[in-house]
Chains A and B, each alone.
Chain A
Amino acid sequence: MITHVAEAGEQRGRVVLWMGGANDPQETAIEAAFRLAQAFQAEVESLFVADHQLFDLAALPFAREIPLSGRGSRHLTVDGLARQLKAHASALQRRVLAQAHAADVRAQARIVRAEPVHALAEACARNGPWNVVTMGMPLRRGGGTSLADLFATVHATTGVVVAGPKAWRTSGPVIAVVDDLERTMPMMRAARRIAAATESEARLCLLDRAQGHDGWLEGQVRLALGASPAVALDVVDMGLESPRSVAQTMRRQGAGFVIARFGGLLVRDEEDVAPLAEILEGPLFLVR
């Protein structure tokens, strides 16, 4: 089963909003977490992970902090770092809880000091099997976040939501990118639930190396959808297109959410994620 989040009453999972260390929050990603929670009537757990590596750094005798302005670097201490992180985390969590209240979503907030992926794995395992992790900070190339590690380590998650630094929308068509016919129905159901929460439409984007079998593929998908209401369907031959060009097409379509399989034809591996997230204007929901 994929692209599922346990409902709040089930006590079987949550939307885990990962607020990472010292990074600035990505507002669109945070909003995406609430949209998902609304779509699946799920609960949000805002988990602020203070990366233990920062404390290792602060404990080094020569540790210095270079401000964002680049001017006036200063000595970094463990205590000073702890104070900064605490203040930062408190402010962030207060804001998240206020947003949750405004969105009428149940939410709780926690602050932990640990290795991020392990902290997420532990939190998801504690919540139940049906979790979705949402990265609350922008995904950047070279940002040090390994989604492959995350998928490998955090077992109790059905997917990860990421957003690039320039993402600004959650409204707009919810596009489910299907590259495996068997996943058509569950992907479509997830897309429809999210679309209902964002008051937009659900679409399908079928990727295949069909090489001229577009019509046949579309027929198969429509057969799989059966009596479902008519749905907009695009078939893309990945022999002719690249993930980047597909992402640009979806951006032009004003995609609000894009749901895709991590390791599929659109997001082949770790290297594809950040570039795609930067192209898209909305969040990218990666499922196993």
Chain B
Amino acid sequence: MFFKRRNKEKPAEAAEAPVAAMTETASAAGAGGAPPESDGISADSLRRGVDAASLGFKTTADLEPEDGPFGQDRALADLDFGLKMPGRDFNIFVLGPPGSGTRASVCAHLEKKQRSAETPPDWIYVPSFDDPHRLRALRLPAGRAALFSERIDTAVAELRATLPAAFEAEDYRARHRAIEEDYRSAHDDALDALHAKAAEQNIAVLRTPLGFGMAPMHDGQVVKPEVFNQLPQVMRRDVESRVGALQSELEAILTSAPAVDKERRRQLAVLNVETARHPIEAALDGLSQDFADVPDATAFLAEMERDLIANAQAFLSTTQDSGLRRYAAHVVVARANDAGAPLVSETDPTPLGLTGSIGSAADGAPAASATRRIRAGVLHQTNGGVLVIDARCLIAAPETWKALKTALKTREIRLFSPSSCASAVADAIPFDAKVILIGTPDDYTQLDAADADFALLFKVQVCFEPAIARSAVNDNRFARLIASVVATHALKPLDAGGVARLIEEASRLAGHRDKVTLDVERIADIAREVDVWSQHSGRDVTTAEDVARAMTERAQRADRVRERTRSRQASASLLGETAGGRAGHIIALSARDAGGIRLGAVHRVVARAHPGRGRSAEIVHAGATDARHAPILRSYLAGTFAQTFPLALGAMLTIDPPSDNVAVQGGAPLAEVLALVSALADEPLRQDLAVTGTIDAGGEVQAVDGINEHIEAFFDACQAHALSGTPGVLIPDGNRPHLMLRQDVVDAVRDGRFVLHAIKTVDDALALMTARDTGLRGADGHFAPDTLNGRAEAKLRAFAEIQRAFGRGVDTVAGVREGRT
């Protein structure tokens, strides 16, 4: 233990001399702004343990696993309300931290409900016989789409055999021939008679490319023109007269042909219908009976029967397979009839994946030929149920949001088509589902800002609690939750001690000693890691020792960032001069999330002050990209000190190592103001105490996130650097409930090797860091000159005088330039 070792190396009196001297000085300062009690927070307040014996079981095998999320009663009630609300606009946005298991909790809650809900109908696409360029959406009772499609295919396959057989049967051919003969008799007989009549008159009837011609003949041959022209005129006129008469008769016969042919075709059509009807009825009869209870299906089958009869010829050709494909019914959604309402959790939604797609009908082929290229989308699968999506997926892909919005607004799903000309071939399918988005409040704000329709479509917000209060009941339920994790992941059971240790860890994750986190996924991750170390130890039951080992290994494994930080700290000698005090120097703490673990970090803050050039403080931060609190610093300084003169302050604040990560949760603001006042008053600050906390403009210290990691980071740094004395940390008083420190830190505090002070104001912190009276403002409006605040006030007044003396020579103030650089 570093303090004991260090204390042994140095005489106790020498090691504690500077602090003792400071304390004495502070005591002499008297009342009003005097330092607070310096005993620090008691060890018992630093961690709230769990008594394994009080849990009331031996191992998790004795427990009934927790069924569904707990501690979210209000959120689940809100969720249920959103699900019950009809309408396209009452979709749900679940607010929960990312990766916290909110999605799993939502799904777990909905799963049972959905399973017991009514199964929504199946959907298939069938051809539209009215419009060959369109596919009709047909709704069928759940569990029957696949059968319907299969039976359609079977019927068409059957017709491929039976229809040709019917048309090749002797019965059909005889009737066909009879009709043809009738027609031929009516038409050809007339022509034959005309030929014979013409032949009797020695007139030949010849076929020309476009019709018929008539000429006199002799011995079966057409009379040569030169011979004909030599005939007497009377004979020529006679021939012309006969030809003319015969031509008129021929015209009459030919003119009547279309009507006769029309009648022939009509009779043949009737014959074809009669011939086709029987096998088609036979093929569809069973199907029609099986779906007699579905009016839409019955109507479709009736239309299909009519179309089949009208297009039976397509079955007679072996080259028209593509034509027969038009009868295929493409299943879009098929469910078991007892499947319940669907619950789809989509992790990677895309526009195409949501709406589904249809291939274009190539080369002007009918739309039905595209049915084989239909891909159902997530919305089809979700229809009638619930779809769960991460909000961040929609933020990252606005096109996906657009596709989802369109479906929600129009309440229909339209298949995506790569070619616009084919987009109209498939009817839209009515869409009726609840969409649940899971995201953070920031996600909601982003989506809302990006599209005004968002808030109109997601009117129900459900807030999942990140943590739940600790109590005997909740500890037990948490144990059951761990039992369910054990069961889900087939882990070894945990004994009560292991569970107690996990509950304590859950408290740390919650960042509150009186709460446990509800981040089920993180708890499950830890439990799984613990199980590995339990196996490594060869135990049948996982114990608290395994949990502790897992946490240690976890921290070390993901500690590369911290290791790097440590090396930089070493190089910067952050903790090198802790024996005394230094004006303007202070140790600040922060934390950052890395690899799923929150890591604390130690920084040195150095402040330099000089006259400013303007009427307000000019504070320049070096090493901190986030300087949002600079106005607060200015406000605090002005409000505390500059009541009767302008704040002509220039200051440079340096943070080392830089806190350049946006994820840093820092406690630097308090440290900065302390360093700055120290620099103004030229009063050294203790270097064995680190500070964390933020402040408001009035000097009240505010709580920070990650307080445990802040403290532990400094504790580890002290251990690494064998820091002398009794180092400690000044924490915001508001962070007291959040203390859930590691056991080694608690032990160090109990042993007096480490101390924690809870502070409420900047003055409290100054008093502790300097062991001096900070001073109160007197009746004359000024601080006493020998107090810390009085010296700082005097320095600021001096700066103001300097600034006034320089008058307008703003640019000549060298300090300002230095501050800028």
What is the interface of chain A, defined by CB distance below 8 A to chain B? 21-23, 51, 53-54, 56-71, 73, 76, 81, 84-85, 87-88, 140-142, 144, 166, 252
Contact = CB atoms under 8 A, between A and B. Distances in A.
A54 B251 contact: no
Interface in B164-208: 170, 177, 180, 188, 191-192, 195-196, 204, 206-208
A65 B243 contact: no
Looking at chain B's contact residues, is the secondary structure mostly helix, strand, loop, or mixed? helix
B215 interface: yes
Nearest to A68: B211
A87 B210 CA distance: 11
Given A56-B224, A64-B247, A76 B208 contact: yes
Contacts of A73: 211, 247, 251
Interface residues of B, number: 40
Interface of B: 170, 177, 180, 188, 191-192, 195-196, 204, 206-216, 221-225, 228-229, 240, 243-244, 247, 250-258
Contacts of B206: 22, 51, 53-54, 57, 144
A84 B247 contact: no
Contact of A56 (B191, B196, B222, B257): B222
Contacts of A166: 177, 180
Contacts of B254: 66-71
B222 A252 contact: no
Nearest to A53: B222
B207 A21 contact: yes
Given A57-B215, A60-B228, A88 B240 contact: no
A56 B218 CA distance: 12
A70 B250 contact: yes
A115 B253 CA distance: 28
3 A-B pairs closest in CB distance: A70-B254, A70-B255, A59-B225
A38 B360 CA distance: 42
Contacts of B212: 65-66, 68
A140 to B, nearest CB: 8
Given A51-B206, A54-B206, A59-B225, A65 B240 contact: no
A76 B123 CA distance: 66
B257 A66 contact: no
A63 B251 contact: no
A69 B177 CA distance: 24
B174 to A, nearest CB: 9
A166 B173 CA distance: 12
Given A57-B222, A66-B251, A142-B195, A252 B170 contact: yes
7 contacts: A22-B206, A22-B208, A53-B206, A66-B251, A68-B212, A142-B191, A166-B177
A69 B209 contact: no
Contacts of A252: 170
Contacts of A61: 225, 229
Contacts of B214: 57, 64
B252 A70 contact: yes
A68 B210 contact: yes
B207 A53 contact: no
Nearest to A24: B207
Contacts of B243: 62
Contact of B257 (A23, A51, A70, A87): A70
Nearest to B250: A66
Given A53-B222, A67-B211, 5 more contacts: A63-B215, A66-B213, A70-B250, A70-B251, A252-B170
B632 to A, nearest CB: 91
